Amino acid sequence: MKLAIVDDESVYRSQIANLIDSVCGREDVSCFLYSDGSELIRSFENGFSLDAIFLDIEMKDVDGMTAARKVREYSKDIPIIFLTSHTELAMDGYEVDAFRFLSKPVNEVKLKETLADLEKKLKVDEKIVLRKDGEEIINSVSDLIYVEAANNCVRFRFKGDAVELRMKFADALKMVDGVSRDFFKIHRSYYVNLAHVKKLSATEVILDDKEVLPVARSAASEAKKSLLEFIRRNSR
């Protein structure tokens, strides 16, 4: 995740960035620090993309609420987490569809909860774009059940639909990995979304639509570990 932290007090910017690093790890999250709302707005004007914004409401130049209104002109969906020392100001945040409100100084437990909810929201909203016959087919990655190698083609199996493309299986896996870390290669021909696994054995996996796929003997042990890690990660 790419997160913006916007606060005109450097001590709070550093505190939140350090807390996020300790909770998520530097490999999973990149924090971009801004000293006021105008810096944040300039980054949007320059086309910089972010996954979410931690935004102080009270700032001397461009305050958080003004910055949030401007951000909404560029993105209707980006989650905004307001930071405030005065909770009575939080009510104004509903005007710009705030995702959360955190009191300053930020409590680590509350921050963990917010980051977990944020990760789940972003995961649901992630899209996978397939290009076929000159058209773009867009689906939520959460709806992708598995990817299958089929002769010289790759079959993307979604809920209630499937898209077949002529491409390398390895390239398809790279595409999926670019938007989600919830897939596992259970077999040389199958890359499965762990969110759709209902039952896993040493020889097969049963999906939530009752479809059964084979599990390679060499992949069974790691598949179990990956499924348990997925469950742990998503039950925070």
Q: Which residues pair with 191 in a beta bridge?
A: 147, 185
Give the count of domains, the chain. 2
Write down the mean pLDDT value for the chain.
89
Confidence category of residue 87, pLDDT binned at 50, 70, 90: low
Confidence category of residue 236, pLDDT binned at 50, 70, 90: very low
Pairing of strands 153-158, 144-150: antiparallel
Confidence category of residue 140, pLDDT binned at 50, 70, 90: confident
* H-assigned helices in the chain: 10-24, 37-45, 64-74, 108-125, 169-177, 220-233
Average pLDDT for residues 119-123, to the nearest whole number? 79
- Determine the pLDDT at residue 88: 56
Asked if the model's pLDDT at residue 58 lies above 70, the reply is yes
**Are residues 152 and 44 part of one domain?**
no
- Determine the pLDDT at residue 120: 79
- Determine the pLDDT at residue 85: 74
**Are residues 133 and 97 part of one domain?**
no
- Determine the pLDDT at residue 52: 95
194: enclosing H helix or E strand: none
CA atoms within 13 A on the CB side of 118: 25
Q: Which of 106, 124, 142 is a domain's end point?
A: 124
**Tell me: the pLDDT tens digits for 174-186?**
999 988 888 999 9
**Are residues 145 and 118 part of one domain?**
no
Contact, 167 vs 154, CB < 8 A? yes
**Are residues 131 and 114 part of one domain?**
no
d(CA 20, CA 205): 36
**Tell me: the pLDDT tens digits for 1-56?**
899 999 999 999 999 999 998 888 766 789 999 999 999 999 999 989 899 999 99
**Are residues 132 and 79 part of one domain?**
no
d(CA 50, CA 81): 13
Token pair listed for 50: 């972010």
d(CA 117, CA 32): 20
Q: Which domain covers residue 197, as residue numbers?
A: 127-233
End-to-end CA distance of the chain: 17
**Are residues 133 and 110 part of one domain?**
no
Q: Can you give the CATH number for the domain in which 24 is found?
A: 3.40.50.2300
**Are residues 53 and 77 part of one domain?**
yes
**Are residues 213 and 229 part of one domain?**
yes
d(CA 164, CA 189): 14
Q: Can you give the CATH number for the domain in which 142 is found?
A: 2.40.50.1020
Contact, 148 vs 157, CB < 8 A? yes
**Are residues 136 and 114 part of one domain?**
no
Q: Which of 73, 103, 124 is a domain's end point?
A: 124
CA-based nearest residue to 128, from 157, 160, 99: 157
Q: Which residues pair with 54 in a beta bridge?
A: 5, 81
**Are residues 117 and 193 part of one domain?**
no
**Are residues 9 and 119 part of one domain?**
yes
CA-based nearest residue to 31, from 132, 98, 111: 111
d(CA 71, CA 129): 25
Q: Which of 79, 96, 124 is a domain's end point?
A: 124
**Tell me: the pLDDT tens digits for 151-166?**
889 999 999 899 999 9
> How many other C-beta atoms can be found within 10 angstroms of the C-beta atom of residue 81?
24
**Are residues 221 and 143 part of one domain?**
yes
